[in-house]
Amino acid sequence: MEEIMLALKNIQKDIDEQKSEIRKSADKVTERVTQNINKILDEKLTKLQVQQDQLKEKLDNQEKRIYFLEKQARQRNVVFFGIEEKESSYDNLQNNIYSFIKKYFSTDIELRDIQELRRVGKKGDRPRPIIATFSTLGIKINIMKQRGLLKDTQYYVKEDYPLQVLEKRRELQEQVKIEKEKGNNARIKYDKLIILKTNNKRSLPTSPENTTTAESQSKNNTNTQVYKKNRTQKPNKPIQRSNSMTEGVIKPSMLNFLVNKNINNTTTEQKDDTKETNI
């Protein structure tokens, strides 16, 4: 009986060890499977991220192109405000705009120069604005330059901006008010804010001592420049022999040395002059 119990204990022990090994192997398998799944998911997510970045870049490029095309399409447009809405046809609207431009603007324009006209917005009590497209950019520029002629009237004209630019300009209006309260000259140019800061500092008067010092410095600088100029333009003087016995006779070797020295000095000064000219 004891042998049977001992055998059973050994069998139970073996079973427990096998269970432990199975659990360990199962954990290892689970860990490996998890690692492989995570690796596969990371690779797929990386590919998806790359594709998303590429699509985002393409979308940004498309938006830039659409913005550029819209900007180009509105480049020759002018928006007229306050013109009475009494036309019954497109021809009447075209004739009204033509007569309006001839009356208030000194612009050489023909009826064929008005390429397209349309009113925008919902019809109500107030006349809707008119967007006019002209055949050339020069006509639009001339009208915008003369918009001050409508100052004392109920009419006014504006640029035809894309929707993005209009939203940006509305946001910049608050900054313009803040800068003007600070005393700065601020204005909006298309979709950018331009700030011209005012300089209230006065230039201090110069004292006689400072004036005298400045004049003396300028004179010294002038003298130095003249000296340098004369030095650089100084011709090579020929070496003369002395007839006096006390001075001695100049040997040919010494004469060559003096000549070579003068030539080297002249070459060095010419190089310096060339460097100053290049600078």
User: pLDDT tens across 217-237, in order?
Assistant: 544 554 544 444 444 444 444
118: β partners: 131
142-161 mean pLDDT:
91
Residue 38 to residue 3: CA distance in whole angstroms? 52
Q: Could you give the CA distance from residue 243 to residue 249 in angstroms, rounded to a whole number?
A: 8
| Of residues 179, 208, 182, 204, the one with CA closest to residue 194 | 179
**What's the rounded Cα separation, in Å, for the pair 139 and 129?**
19
Q: CA-CA distance, 147 to 141, in Å (whole number)? A: 10
Helical H runs in the chain?
2-73, 90-104, 137-145, 163-181, 208-232, 252-278
Taking only the tens place, the pLDDT of each residue in 181-193 is 777 777 777 777 7
Q: Which residue has the tokens 């201090």?
A: 204
State mean pLDDT over 63-86: 90
Please, which pLDDT band fits residue 197 given cuts at 50, 70 and 90?
low
Q: Compute the C-alpha angle 36/40/46, nearest 5°.
A: 145
Do 107 and 142 touch, CB atoms closer than 8 A? yes
Sequence letter at residue 159 = E
Q: How many CB atoms lie within 10 A of CB 103?
A: 8
* Higher per-residue pLDDT: 211 or 162: 162
For the beta carbon of residue 149, count every other beta carbon within 10 angstroms: 15
Q: Are 208 and 182 in contact (CB under 8 A)?
A: no
58: helix, coil or strand? Answer: helix
- d(CA 133, CA 49) in angstroms, rounded, equals 44
- Element (H or E) spanning 77, and its range? strand 77-81
